Amino acid sequence: MKSEVRVAFVGAGTVAEMHGRGVSAVPNIRLVGAYDHDRQKAELITSRFGGRIFDSLEEILSDREVDAVHVLTPIDHHVSQAVASLRAGKHVLLEKPVASTHEEIKLLKSEAVEAGRICMPAHNYIYAPSVRRARRLIETGKLGRIASLWIIYNIFHSDHALSMYGGVLREVCTHHAYSVLHLLGRPRRVSAVASSLRERHAGKEEQAMIVCEMQDGAIANLWSSFAADDPTADPWTVVYKVLGTNGGVSYSWNEAQFRDEGGPAWGMPCYEESFVEEIDHFINRCVLGGDLPLSTLEDAADALSILIAAERSIDRLDTLAPVVYSE
Ligand SMILES: NC(=O)c1ccc[n+]([C@@H]2O[C@H](COP(=O)([O-])OP(=O)(O)OC[C@H]3O[C@@H](n4cnc5c(N)ncnc54)[C@H](O)[C@@H]3O)[C@@H](O)[C@H]2O)c1
């Protein structure tokens, strides 16, 4: 029985730092190396977390030492790189949003089954211990009937960061959508609004609110903004709140912080912890232990359905849009 899983990163940009910190903190995993088409990025990541620089994804895939690939590139490359990795017999940890369409997610599912390998969406927020505890409290009924869920995200992104990313709906509300699914199940209908404060980013929403009507009377409220930080005394940087008829849960990334200007939330240990727990689950529970991932491609498909319904609601401005799930 293997006792160490050897991984390689494709893409060595912002999120690779968090994957590197995760790899360093988790037992039974070693970073063999990284490939980025910007070689300097791969140099930086391997100098920080070990391993060598690969010259291409193909070189990673033909390296028998590599057991698993973390796909950490922008969304346009996710599906082709994940499929190539699965076909080469590697397990895949695939950054969010895993894909832009349901067809692509179906392809990922069938390729993973065909290869007999794990393709786990990197839905890191649900791996945070506080979110896992919230789910246990909901599932065991300790909170009573759930009345509301609030997931709030306020992290200012510079013009440069905004130019690199999509709007908050796909970029951030993906986290919110898979979190709602994890905590409360599938919303029936959603209503959404979005806005942009900086004109040059017109076409990309800088902030958005999605209100989800759940099956059993609960309402989930999903807020996301790149427009402003929350500098107040009780900051809502990233907050989860669940209120039930018998109790509640509150969780905030602000509970511990240190100075690290390297990237958004890099100085928030709660954020880093979500990657550590996610990677530990992927490596030790799934690849070595044979368990199923906590985050699945089915969740990714359902999260995409929620976002498509939100986009439909924003486009029509006046609708409560039904969520159409892809079976
Ligand atoms: N889970 C999270 O909390 C979280 C946080 C940030 C980003 N992300 C996701 O991670 C992904 C990457 O985001 P990022 O912020 O690291 O972006 P980034 O632009 O900082 O990094 C992406 C890297 O991929 C490289 N790259 C691009 N195309 C490539 C290719 N074809 N082959 C090899 N390398 C290539 C780029 O040179 C760059 O270094 C996105 O899907 C994003 O949504 C997730």
* pLDDT above 90 (res 150): yes
Report the share of the chain in percent with pLDDT over 90: 89
Q: Exposed (0-12), middle (13-18) or buried (19+): which is 141, by Cβ within 10 Å?
A: exposed
Name the band, by pLDDT with cuts 50, 70 and 90, for residue 1: low
Tokens 């990541």 sit at which residue? 45
* pLDDT reported for residue 202: 66
- As a whole number, mean pLDDT of residues 35-43 equals 98
* pLDDT reported for residue 60: 98
The protein residue whose alpha carbon is closest to atom 38 in ligand 1 is 13
**Of the given ranges (52-61, 128-137, 314-323), which has the lowest mean pLDDT?**
314-323
Name the band, by pLDDT with cuts 50, 70 and 90, for residue 166: confident
Q: 75 near 100, Cβ under 8 Å?
A: yes
Summarize pLDDT for 105-128 with one digit per residue, the tens.
999 999 999 999 999 999 999 999
Please name which of 32, 71, 76, 73 lies closest in space to residue 54, comparing C-alpha atoms: 32
User: For residue 13, how far is its CA from the centre of ligand 1 (angstroms)?
Assistant: 5
Give CA torsion, residues 142, 144, 147, 152, to 10 deg: 0
* pLDDT reported for residue 317: 67
User: For residue 106, how far is its CA from the centre of ligand 1 (angstroms)?
Assistant: 22
Q: Please provide the average confidence, as pLDDT, over all residues in the chain.
A: 95
Name the band, by pLDDT with cuts 50, 70 and 90, for residue 319: confident
Name the band, by pLDDT with cuts 50, 70 and 90, for residue 29: very high
- As a whole number, mean pLDDT of residues 48-76 equals 98
- Domains of the chain, CATH where assigned: 5-122 (3.40.50.720), 126-263+303-322 (3.30.360.10)
Q: 81 near 71, Cβ under 8 Å?
A: yes
* pLDDT reported for residue 302: 98
- As a whole number, mean pLDDT of residues 267-283 equals 98
Q: 112 near 119, Cβ under 8 Å?
A: yes
Pocket residues: Cβ below 6 A from ligand 1: 10-16, 35-38, 41, 72-75, 77, 95-96, 122, 124, 164, 171
User: For residue 20, how far is its CA from the centre of ligand 1 (angstroms)?
Assistant: 13
Summarize pLDDT for 191-248 with one digit per residue, the tens.
999 999 987 766 789 999 999 999 999 999 999 999 999 999 999 999 999 999 999 9
Beta strands in 12-104 (DSSP E): 29-35, 52-53, 68-71, 91-95
- As a whole number, mean pLDDT of residues 77-98 equals 98
In a mutational test of the pocket of ligand 1, which residue from 59, 73, 126 has the highest number of ligand atoms less than 8 Å from its CB? Answer: 73
- As a whole number, mean pLDDT of residues 63-91 equals 98
For residue 226, give every residue at least 6 positions away whose Cβ sits within 8 Å of its Cβ, in sequence order, or none: 155, 156, 157, 161, 162, 165, 168, 172, 206, 207
* pLDDT reported for residue 49: 98
User: For residue 9, how far is its CA from the centre of ligand 1 (angstroms)?
Assistant: 11
Q: 118 near 89, Cβ under 8 Å?
A: no
